[in-house]
C-alpha cells in the first residue's frame, strides 16, 4: 500500500517551477507477513508507530519524524512557521487489533501542556477512536497529560470484544518525539500504513486545532473520518498568510484537494495581493487538483463590534473579487466557501469569540463536508 509523497531534490523556485521529484514509498508487509516487531515490557507488547508510518506527514525528509514540514524548509519559511511546524497537529496512527486493553506511551517536546483557553487534552493529549461494525468512527478514550515529557497511560480497558480498526490522533499544539501503542501480548495486531491522496489544509490557529478539547475534534480530523480520507494539517497559529514558500511546499504533495483557510490571519490588502498568486502556484503544479477558498468565520461577538464586522466584510469582498477574476480567466477547479455561517448564528460556538469550541469545530466540518463531498466524488 502506498505511503505519502517524499522529496528527492532541493527546494527550488517559490513559484512552483522545478518542483521536487517525488515517489510513493511502499510498505513491506502483507497478509502472510511475519508478526510485526514489538517490545515486551511491563506485561505489554509495545509497537512503535514509526515502524509502519504515521498518517498526516507530507514529507519523509523531516528533521525529526513528527515534524510537519521537511528539513529543507528551515530557513525558507519564516521562523514562526518553522517553530509551529514541529507540532504534530493532524497526525494519526492507524491499526487493527482485538485487544481488550489499549495503552500508549509517548514523549512530548514541550513541558507546556495546556494554554489559557485550550485544555491539555487538546494541546498535548492523545485521542483514540474505534470503528464500529457500520464503519463509523466512535470516540473511545483520551489521554489527559498532567506531567511529562514522558507519558504512559491507558486509553481504555474491558473494551467490547472484537477485532476492529483504531485511530490515535497526536497532540495539536505540542511536538512529539516518540509514540508507542501498548497491547496485551496475546492480542492480534495489524498496522495500517498511511494512505495516499490526502486532503491538504493550509490555515491558521483554527486549522491547527485551536481550541478543540481533543485532537480528534479539530475540524480537519472530523472531515478525515467522515470522508474516509487522509489529512495533512498545515495550520500555523497566527501565521496562515498565503505565503509562496508554503505554496511551493504544498504543491509537492499529490493532494485530493487543497483547502485554503487563511483569512483569519490576513487583512483585505493581503488577501487581494496573495490569493491569486497562491492559486496560480498550485494550479501550475497540479492542474486538476481542486482548490477550495474559505472565507473567515464570523467572530461570535462580532454583532457587538462594528470594527470586527467591517474586517470580515473587507476580507470577504477581497477574496470574492479575486475568485471571480480567477474564474473569469478560466482557472478551473476552484470552489468558494462563505464564512458567515461557519460557526452558526447563535454566538455559542467559540471559546473566545475567535477560536471554535468543539461545537464550532463540528459546525465548520459540517459546512466543509457539504462542499467537499461533491468535489471529491470520483477521486
- What pLDDT does residue 61 have? 97
Q: Is 294 helix (H, G, I), strand (E, B) or coil?
A: strand
H/E element, 335? strand 334-337
| Secondary-structure breakdown of the chain: helix, strand, coil percentages, each rounded to the nearest 5 | 30, 25, 50
Question: How many other C-beta atoms can be found within 10 angstroms of the C-beta atom of residue 79?
Answer: 10
Q: What is the mean pLDDT of residues 120-127?
A: 98
pLDDT in tens, 45-76: 999 999 999 999 999 999 999 999 999 999 99
Q: 121: Cβ–Cβ under 8 A, 6 or more apart, which residues?
A: 127, 142, 143, 144, 145, 213, 214
DSSP tag of 64: S
pLDDT in tens, 169-178: 999 999 999 9
Q: Is 277 helix (H, G, I), strand (E, B) or coil?
A: helix
* Predicted confidence (pLDDT) at residue 315 exceeds the cutoff of 50: yes
- What pLDDT does residue 13 have? 36
Distance of CA 156 to the CA centre of its chain: 25
- What pLDDT does residue 301 have? 97
Which of 33-37, 60-64, 125-129, 269-273 has the least mean pLDDT?
33-37
Which of 16-20, 214-218, 327-331 has the least mean pLDDT?
16-20
All three cell numbers of 74: 528551515
Beta strand spans in 98-212 (E)? 102-108, 127-131, 137-142, 150-156, 164-169, 176-183, 189-192, 199-203
Beta bridge partners of 257: 199
* Predicted confidence (pLDDT) at residue 32 exceeds the cutoff of 90: no
pLDDT in tens, 146-175: 988 999 999 999 999 999 999 999 999 999
Please tell me which residue, 250 or 7, carries the higher pLDDT value: 250
Q: In the structure, what pLDDT confidence band is assigned to residue 26 with cuts at 50, 70 and 90?
A: very low
Q: What's the CATH architecture for 199-376?
A: 3-Layer(aba) Sandwich (3.40)
Q: Is 206 helix (H, G, I), strand (E, B) or coil?
A: helix
Q: In the structure, what pLDDT confidence band is assigned to residue 378 with cuts at 50, 70 and 90?
A: low
CA separation for the pair 305, 302 (Å, rounded): 5
CA separation for the pair 117, 311 (Å, rounded): 23
Distance of CA 341 to the CA centre of its chain: 22
Please report the sign of the dihedral spanned by the C-alpha atoms of residue 52, residue 57, residue 61, residue 65. negative
- Please name the residue that has the C-alpha cell 486538476: 288
Could you check whether 37-56+91-192 and 199-376 share the same CATH topology?
no
Average pLDDT, the chain: 92
- Please name the residue that has the C-alpha cell 493529549: 125
- What pLDDT does residue 36 have? 80
- What pLDDT does residue 148 have? 83
CA separation for the pair 128, 93 (Å, rounded): 10
Q: What is the mean pLDDT of residues 38-48?
A: 97
pLDDT in tens, 179-209: 999 999 999 999 999 999 999 999 999 999 9
Give me the helices (H) in the chain, please. Answer: 79-84, 120-123, 205-208, 219-227, 244-250, 268-285, 306-328, 358-376
- What pLDDT does residue 18 have? 36
pLDDT in tens, 337-362: 999 999 999 999 999 999 999 999 99
pLDDT in tens, 81-96: 999 999 999 999 999 9
Percent of the chain with pLDDT over 90: 89
All three cell numbers of 178: 516518540
Q: What's the CATH architecture for 37-56+91-192?
A: Sandwich (2.60)
Instruction: For the chain, give every domain's residue range.
Output: 37-56+91-192, 199-376
DSSP tag of 283: H
Amino acid at each position: 500500500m502506498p505511503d505519502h509523497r517524499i522529496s528527492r531534490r532541493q527546494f527550488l523556485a517559490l513559484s512552483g517551477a522545478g518542483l521536487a521529484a517525488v515517489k510513493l514509498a511502499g510498505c513491506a508487509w502483507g497478509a502472510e507477513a511475519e508478526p510485526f516487531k514489538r517490545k515486551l515490557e511491563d506485561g505489554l507488547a509495545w509497537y512503535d508507530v514509526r515502524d509502519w508510518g504515521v498518517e498526516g506527514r507530507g514529507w519523509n525528509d523531516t528533521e525529526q519524524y513528527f515534524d510537519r514540514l521537511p528539513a529543507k524548509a528551515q530557513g525558507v519559511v519564516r521562523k514562526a512557521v518553522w517553530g509551529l511546524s514541529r507540532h504534530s497537529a493532524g497526525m494519526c496512527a492507524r491499526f487493527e487489533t482485538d485487544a481488550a486493553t489499549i495503552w500508549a506511551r509517548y514523549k512530548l517536546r514541550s513541558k507546556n501542556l495546556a494554554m489559557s483557553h485550550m485544555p491539555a487534552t487538546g494541546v498535548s493529549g492523545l485521542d483514540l477512536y474505534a470503528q464500529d461494525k457500520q464503519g463509523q468512527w466512535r470516540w473511545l478514550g483520551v489521554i489527559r497529560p498532567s506531567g511529562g515529557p514522558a507519558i504512559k497511560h491507558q486509553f481504555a480497558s474491558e473494551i467490547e470484544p472484537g477485532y476492529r480498526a483504531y485511530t490515535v490522533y497526536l497532540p495539536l499544539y505540542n511536538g512529539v518525539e516518540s509514540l508507542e501503542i501498548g497491547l496485551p501480548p496475546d492480542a492480534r495486531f495489524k498496522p495500517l500504513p498511511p494512505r495516499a491522496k490526502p486532503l491538504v489544509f493550509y490555515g491558521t490557529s483554527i486549522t491547527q486545532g485551536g481550541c478543540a478539547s481533543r485532537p480528534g475534534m479539530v475540524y480537519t480530523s472530523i472531515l478525515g473520518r467522515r470522508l474516509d480520507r487522509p489529512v495533512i494539517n498545515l495550520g500555523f497559529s497566527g501565521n496562515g498568510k498565503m505565503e509562496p514558500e508554503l505554496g511551493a511546499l504544498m504543491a509537492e504533495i499529490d493532494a485530493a484537494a487543497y483547502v485554503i483557510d487563511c483569512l483569519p490571519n490576513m487583512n483585505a490588502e493581503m488577501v487581494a495581493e496573495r490569493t491569486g498568486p497562491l492559486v496560480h502556484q498550485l494550479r501550475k503544479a497540479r492542474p486538476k487538483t481542486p482548490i477550495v477558498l474559505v472565507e473567515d468565520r464570523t467572530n461570535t461577538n462580532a454583532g457587538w463590534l462594528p470594527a470586527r464586522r467591517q474586517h470580515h466584510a473587507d476580507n470577504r469582498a477581497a477574496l470574492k473579487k479575486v475568485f471571480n477574476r480567477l474564474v473569469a480567466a478560466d482557472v478551473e477547479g476552484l470552489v468558494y466557501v462563505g464564512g458567515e455561517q461557519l460557526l452558526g448564528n447563535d454566538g455559542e460556538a467559540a471559546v473566545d469569540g475567535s477560536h471554535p469550541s468543539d461545537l464550532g469545530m463540528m459546525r465548520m466540518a459540517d459546512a466543509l463536508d457539504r462542499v467537499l463531498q461533491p468535489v471529491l466524488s470520483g477521486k
